[in-house]
Amino acid sequence: MNWYLAVLKNYAGFSGRARRKEYWMYTLFNFIAAAVLVALGAVIDSQIPYFIYIVAVLVPTLAVFVRRLHDTGRSGWWLLLGFVPFGGIVLLVFACLEGTGEVNEYGANPKLAPQAV
């Protein structure tokens, strides 16, 4: 849960790097929250809470993915590959790759930096 909250606190932070653990833990909790809201929407016969949540977390989700791309040494512009057929598969592979072990143009290795979480 701390990883999820850390991403939300860094709401629009597109600079820096995000570890795989940070990205995937955020994605897990985001999925769980969305599933709960969909179930709640089915009970109250309205998906409005779900859509409000999706709009609210759109910017942090993009930001953490851009930071994840930075960790692998790629620019955030690679995110546009998601608009190309099968580009999402390439982005999934990038999200699964280990980050560069040394300092890159986006900052120091987040694995070596002390965690505030």
Mean pLDDT of the chain: 90
- Separation between Cα atoms, residue 7 and residue 11, nearest integer Å: 6
pLDDT at 115: 57
From the list 43, 59, 52, the residue with the least C-alpha distance to 9 is 59
Q: Is 104 helix (H, G, I), strand (E, B) or coil?
A: strand
**In this predicted model, what pLDDT tens digit does every residue of 5-38 receive, in sequence order?**
888 888 888 988 988 999 999 999 999 999 999 9
pTM of this structure: 0.86
What average pLDDT does range 48-67 have in this prediction? 95
What are the distances in angstroms from CA 96 to CA 15, 16, 23, 68, 104? 19, 18, 10, 9, 18
